[in-house]
């Protein structure tokens, strides 16, 4: 899961890098400070503008916990924050399994070429872009798939259900 929030104040990343144990800050390489937590296992990117991006969390509760821990550490470093950050989910990535091997060549034609990218010489999976919900499914011949771009867990469920129904209706899933 990727989520963002604003701390509502500008940050001195150089000073924070010294104060936050284990923080990585190399402005020549990347404009933000990278702060990794072991629990929950996340990486938080802090930017001078006060924007925070949290990656790697497995749930919204983990995002909230990670950002709470980071803001606590920032306050301990002597930086006052006006309010609690408002968290916004940017992207949820999930994996699933259709439970059987599938023929991607046939599926590419069945799903409609306007929604599918399939170039097995370039990438072993089929890229299926759905309009509703607005997500992308990476489908592999093994039957495994990855859903990216969702902002709520229900969109992942809808996308996988939609794909399963389309493949079953076409006789491509048993």
Cα 13 from chain centroid (whole Å): 24
At 79, is the secondary structure helix, strand, or coil? coil
Contact call for residues 96 and 144 (beta carbons, < 8 A): yes
101 and 130 in a common domain: yes
156 and 137 in a common domain: yes
Contact call for residues 76 and 23 (beta carbons, < 8 A): no
Rg (CA), the chain: 20
- Provide the residue-wise pLDDT of the chain in tens; the chain has 174 residues: 999 999 989 999 999 999 998 899 999 999 999 999 999 999 999 999 999 999 999 999 999 999 999 999 999 999 888 778 999 999 999 999 999 999 999 999 999 889 999 999 999 999 999 999 999 999 999 999 999 999 999 999 999 999 999 999 999 998
Picking from 86, 121, 147, the residue at the C-terminal end of a domain is: 86
Q: What is the residue range of 42's domain? A: 2-86
Residue 97 lies in a domain: yes
Place of tokens 């402005």: 27
> How much is the pTM?
0.83
126 and 73 in a common domain: no
Picking from 51, 86, 121, the residue at the C-terminal end of a domain is: 86
């Amino acid at each position: 899961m990727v989520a963002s929030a604003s701390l509502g104040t500008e940050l001195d990343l150089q000073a924070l890098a010294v104060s936050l144990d284990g923080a990585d800050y190399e402005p020549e390489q990347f404009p933000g400070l990278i702060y990794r937590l072991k629990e929950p296992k996340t990486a938080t990117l802090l930017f001078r503008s006060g924007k925070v991006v949290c990656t790697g969390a497995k749930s919204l509760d983990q995002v909230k916990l990670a950002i709470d821990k980071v803001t606590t550490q920032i306050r301990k470093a002597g930086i006052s924050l006006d309010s609690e950050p408002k968290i916004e989910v940017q992207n949820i990535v999930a994996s699933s399994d259709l439970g059987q091997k599938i023929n991607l060549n046939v599926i590419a034609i069945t799903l409609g070429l306007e929604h599918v990218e399939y170039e097995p010489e370039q990438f072993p999976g089929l890229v299926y872009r759905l309009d509703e919900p607005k997500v992308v499914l990476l489908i592999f011949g093994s039957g495994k798939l990855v859903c990216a771009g969702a902002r709520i867990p229900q969109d992942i469920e809808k996308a996988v259900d939609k794909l399963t129904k389309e493949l079953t209706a076409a006789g491509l899933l048993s």
